[in-house]
Amino acid sequence: MAINFQPIYVLATGGERALDNIDITTNNISNSSTPGFKKLLMREFSQKIPENLGKTSELFVFPRFQDSPVIVNQGALIKTDNMFDVAIQGKGFFAVQTQNGVVYTRNGHFFRNAEGYLVDANGNYILDTNNQRIRLTADKVIFGTDGAVIQNNQVVARLQIRNFQNIIPLGNGYYQGQNEIQPQYTLNQGFLESSNSNAIEEMISLINNHRRFDIYMNLIKSLDTLEGKVNEIGRV
């Protein structure tokens, strides 16, 4: 008797989706303390297999990967009193110049490097509204709520804040954007935005996805055993 592989394929696909969820959830957990990090959510959809010669009893539906959107909900603001820490409250991202081009981040944990430029924790340059690096020469620097960079009572630059409909994660708290829209924000100097990933909630999700994977694998084993016994009966 021929083995019906369709149920096994459906279960294996479900197990693969569970592993995808585990990878995304693990990333969310590892970044739950990263300033400005935005959690990922994996979405699935149901795919039917209709090519069954009209036999409705053999219709199968299996889970397919749809996308993993970035959840841009606001994280809580944490007071640090660090002059170079800046938190975005609202919608928008800082523009950062890297070796691979301009990227965007919500992580406002900035520094002044040895040359006097405003940089992020990775040494990449923070850009102003003219796509220029920001040079800091005064001992005291003020970042206005509108992004103004003030030294010696003069506005010397303005932080570039941009916003997009679609956000693509690049890793290390960096993002790319598609379909630019108007930013709506207030900047808070001496604060950092915390990650919007809740470690406890993500741990629960991780456990549930491990259980989901185990269920699929156990069902595959049971189905394989059942198919084997059916074949033995067919040979009698």
pLDDT in tens, 51-61: 545 555 555 66
Q: Classify each residue of 148-162 as buried b or exposed e, where b means 16 or more C-beta atoms within 10 Å of its C-beta.
A: ebbbeeeebbbbbbb
Mean pLDDT of the chain: 86
Name the residue with higher pLDDT: 10 or 25.
Answer: 25
Hey, which residues does 101 pair with through a beta bridge?
A: 98
The stretch 192-207 carries a mean pLDDT of 92
Q: Which residues pair with 164 in a beta bridge?
A: 180
The whole model's pTM is what?
A: 0.79
CB neighbours of 129 closer than 8 A, spacing ≥ 6? 147, 157, 158, 159, 160
- Give the whole-number percent of the chain exceeding pLDDT 70: 82
List the one residue out of 86, 112, 111, 109 whose CA is nearest residue 187.
86
How many helices (H) and strands (E) are present in the chain, helices listed first? 2, 16
- Residue range 197-225: average pLDDT? 84
Name the strands in the sheet holding 141-143, side by side, starting at the edge strand that comes first in the sequence.
Answer: 141-143, 148-151, 154-158
The reported pLDDT for the residue numbered 51 is 54
